[in-house]
């Protein structure tokens, strides 16, 4: 599929590209309106209050459970990664050889040897049912809901991201950190809060971190991003934020005598916590890679994706609950959209996918190993997946070795989270094109995450009409993992 076919304007109307959203300081009034409402999606006083209410009701939200989602935007080929078919004809099996893993009888593509050696710490699911999933936007698997597909449902944009559900029901593991952080190459690659409200939208990690800048085809420009999200505008200093806090206290004092529940005292406390996120050091330090030893930065590697993986570890260690890394150079359908070598910039299996695999292999295994060395792996669930698989036959769309979109089946990998690993769940038919046994649905993946994050599986949210909606769409936790 060429670039022209990825210009799906009808899918982006809801993004309101001309509207100024988020924290805008064009004048003093806008600054006051923003107040302590957060900084680009940071934890809000309301979220802090909600966590306290839940704790008072006996719902424990303690602990350091978290999730790192390695999002392979574009849809990686199942056959050329975790579910190879070495005995099939070339047009089916692809150009890569296979290698054994640490689990007897399980083989991987030759270009992910570090994962093969770590297979006893991984779970590979070879039977994920991606029917109904698409990209631009890539939201079905990031919401766990098949209805969240904008090309077939004009209400899809309102289904909340799994990360947003976690932000609402679990919150951050530390009050000075945002609960849900994303590093995204394209806005259509990430799911948002929808019906939950913008206060549960992801915090834009790219804007808070100094990171290498790569072009759309993965060439390092040699430049670094500004990473200046924590910098206040010149006309605003911390004393003015303090003045804003004092003003709020005065208003609250006028109303306190009408409230006997203590909510206003709590509001002061939560407001102070929110101010700590905006003006305090903890979040800024977590996003600052210069605080990481050079040896560790070199261990991960200087590539953009590797540095983001290191940031993800720093963030969950500091108290973020859900981090999504958009592993893509391209802002449209994504770098893993390997249609063919004659369809730039996507490439086929040999020219498009092959360069990605050693890089991904290194960052994934380095992250898992680092989490383990720091005693974090039982708390942090690492998930690697895209939005669908690829066709079992190569040469689609007139390419030499490209594979087209294939939602009938995909593979994914998991590690950590204190779950049972060293196994393959499900299987595909002989050509890798359909599920043979043990289908796993988007809702099953969401349910597994919610169970890990102590989010009640029967939780609901309400749409603007007041109608309750369950957070799960026909999903159950993947029992083999528990």
370 and 435: one domain?
A: yes
pLDDT confidence of residue 31? 38
Mean pLDDT, residues 466-480: 93
In a domain? residue 75: yes
CA-CA distance, 185 to 193, in Å (whole number)? Answer: 18
Range of the domain at 262: 27-62+231-280
222 and 254: one domain?
A: no
Residue predicted with more confidence, 143 or 243: 143
Does 9 have pLDDT greater than 60?
no
245 and 321: one domain?
A: no
Q: What is the pLDDT of residues 357-371, one digit of tens each?
A: 999 999 999 999 999
Mean pLDDT (the chain) is 84
pLDDT confidence of residue 46? 53
Q: How confident is the model at residue 38 (pLDDT cuts 50, 70, 90)?
A: very low
pLDDT confidence of residue 234? 55
In a domain? residue 391: yes
In a domain? residue 16: no
In a domain? residue 3: no
250 and 364: one domain?
A: no
Mean pLDDT, residues 203-212: 94
CA-CA distance, 83 to 385, in Å (whole number)? Answer: 13
Long-range contact pairs involving 238-243 (C-beta distance under 8 Å, separation at least 24): 238/279, 240/31, 241/36, 241/275, 241/278, 241/279
Mean pLDDT, residues 142-148: 93
Length of the chain: 482
Q: Which residues pair with 122 in a beta bridge?
A: 415
Residue predicted with more confidence, 2 or 110: 110
Q: Which residues of 210-228 are buried (b: 16+ CB within 10 A; e: fewer)?
A: ebbebeeebeeeeeeeebe
Does 29 have pLDDT greater than 80?
no
Token pair for 184: 């995204």
Mean pLDDT, residues 419-429: 98
In a domain? residue 4: no
405 and 437: one domain?
A: yes
Q: Which residues pair with 39 in a beta bridge?
A: none
Does 42 have pLDDT greater than 90?
no
337 and 415: one domain?
A: yes
CA-CA distance, 185 to 181, in Å (whole number)? Answer: 13
pLDDT confidence of residue 232? 58
pLDDT confidence of residue 331? 92
Does 177 have pLDDT greater than 90?
yes
CA-CA distance, 1 to 7, in Å (whole number)? Answer: 11
Token pair for 351: 């020219």
What is the dihedral angle through the alpha carbons of 329, 337, 160, 13, rounded to the nearest 10 degrees?
80
Residue predicted with more confidence, 348 or 270: 348
Q: What is the pLDDT of residues 76-120, one digit of tens each?
A: 999 999 999 999 999 999 999 999 999 999 999 999 999 999 999
Q: How confident is the model at residue 5 (pLDDT cuts 50, 70, 90)?
A: very low
CA-CA distance, 383 to 368, in Å (whole number)? Answer: 10
448 and 306: one domain?
A: yes
Q: In whole angstroms, what separates CA 78 from the centre of its chain?
A: 20
400 and 320: one domain?
A: yes
202 and 70: one domain?
A: yes
205 and 259: one domain?
A: no
pLDDT confidence of residue 39? 39
Q: Is the dihedral of CA 286, 291, 295, 298 positive or negative?
A: positive
Does 225 have pLDDT greater than 90?
yes
Task: Give alpha helix (H) positions in 79-213.
Answer: 90-93, 113-117, 140-143, 162-169
* pTM, full prediction: 0.83
Does 381 have pLDDT greater than 60?
yes
Q: What is the pLDDT of residues 266-322, one digit of tens each?
A: 444 445 555 555 556 899 999 999 999 999 999 999 999 999 999 999 999 999 999
pLDDT confidence of residue 238? 52
Q: In the chain, what percentage of residues exceed pLDDT 90?
A: 67
CA-CA distance, 84 to 95, in Å (whole number)? Answer: 11
In a domain? residue 162: yes
CATH value at residue 414: 3.40.720.10
pLDDT confidence of residue 236? 54
pLDDT confidence of residue 155? 87
Total number of domains constituting the chain: 2
CA-CA distance, 148 to 443, in Å (whole number)? Answer: 12
Q: In the chain, what percentage of residues exceed pLDDT 70?
A: 77
In a domain? residue 12: no
294 and 409: one domain?
A: yes
Among residues 467, 446, 452, the alpha carbon closest in space to that of 160 is found at 446
Mean pLDDT, residues 368-384: 98
Q: Which stretch of 5-19, 328-342, 346-360 has the lowest confidence by average pLDDT?
A: 5-19
Mean pLDDT, residues 177-196: 94
Does 156 have pLDDT greater than 90?
no
In a domain? residue 300: yes
């Amino acid at each position: 599929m060429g670039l022209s076919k990825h210009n799906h304007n009808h899918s982006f109307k809801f993004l309101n590209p001309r509207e100024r959203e988020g924290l805008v300081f064009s004048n003093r009034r806008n600054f006051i309106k923003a107040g302590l409402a957060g900084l680009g999606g940071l934890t809000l006083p309301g979220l802090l209050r909600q966590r306290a209410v839940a704790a008072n009701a006996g719902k424990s939200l303690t602990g350091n459970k978290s999730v790192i989602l390695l999002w392979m935007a574009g849809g990686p080929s199942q056959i050329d990664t975790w579910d190879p078919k070495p005995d099939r004809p070339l047009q089916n099996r692809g150009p890569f050889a296979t290698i054994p893993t640490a689990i007897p009888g399980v083989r991987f593509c030759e270009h992910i040897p570090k994962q093969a050696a770590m297979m006893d710490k991984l779970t590979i699911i070879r039977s994920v049912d991606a029917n109904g999933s698409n990209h631009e936007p890539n939201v079905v698997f990031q919401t766990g809901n098949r209805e969240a597909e904008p090309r077939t449902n004009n209400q899809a944009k309102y289904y909340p991201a799994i990360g947003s559900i976690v932000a609402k029901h679990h919150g951050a593991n530390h009050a000075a950190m945002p609960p849900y952080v994303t590093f995204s190459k394209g806005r259509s690659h990430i799911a948002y809060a929808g019906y939950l409200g913008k206060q549960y939208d992801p915090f834009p990690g790219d804007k808070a971190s100094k990171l290498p800048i790569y072009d759309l085809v993965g060439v390092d420009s040699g430049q670094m991003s500004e990473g200046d999200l924590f910098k206040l505008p010149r006309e605003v200093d911390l004393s003015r934020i303090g003045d804003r806090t004092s003003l709020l206290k005065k208003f609250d004092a006028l109303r306190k005598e009408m409230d006997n529940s203590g909510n206003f005292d709590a509001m002061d406390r939560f407001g102070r916590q929110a101010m700590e996120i905006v003006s305090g050091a903890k979040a800024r330090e977590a996003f600052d890679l210069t605080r990481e030893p050079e040896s560790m930065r070199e261990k991960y590697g200087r590539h953009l994706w590797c540095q983001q993986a290191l940031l993800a570890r720093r963030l969950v260690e500091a108290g973020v609950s859900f981090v999504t890394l958009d592993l893509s150079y391209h802002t449209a359908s994504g770098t893993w959209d390997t249609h063919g070598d004659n369809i730039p910039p996507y490439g086929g299996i040999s020219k498009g996918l092959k360069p990605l695999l050693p890089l991904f292999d290194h960052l994934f295994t380095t992250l898992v190993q680092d989490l383990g060395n720091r005693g974090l792996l039982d708390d942090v669930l690492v998930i690697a997946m895209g939005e669908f698989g690829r066709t079992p036959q190569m040469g689609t769309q007139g390419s030499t070795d490209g594979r087209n979109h294939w939602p009938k089946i995909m593979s994914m990998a998991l590690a950590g989270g204190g779950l049972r690993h060293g196994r393959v769940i499900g299987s595909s038919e002989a050509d890798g094109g359909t599920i043979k046994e043990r289908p796993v649905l988007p809702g099953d993946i969401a349910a597994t995450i919610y169970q890990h994050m102590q989010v009640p599986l029967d939780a609901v949210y309400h749409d603007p009409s007041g109608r309750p909606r369950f957070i799960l769409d026909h999903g159950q936790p993947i029992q083999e993992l528990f």
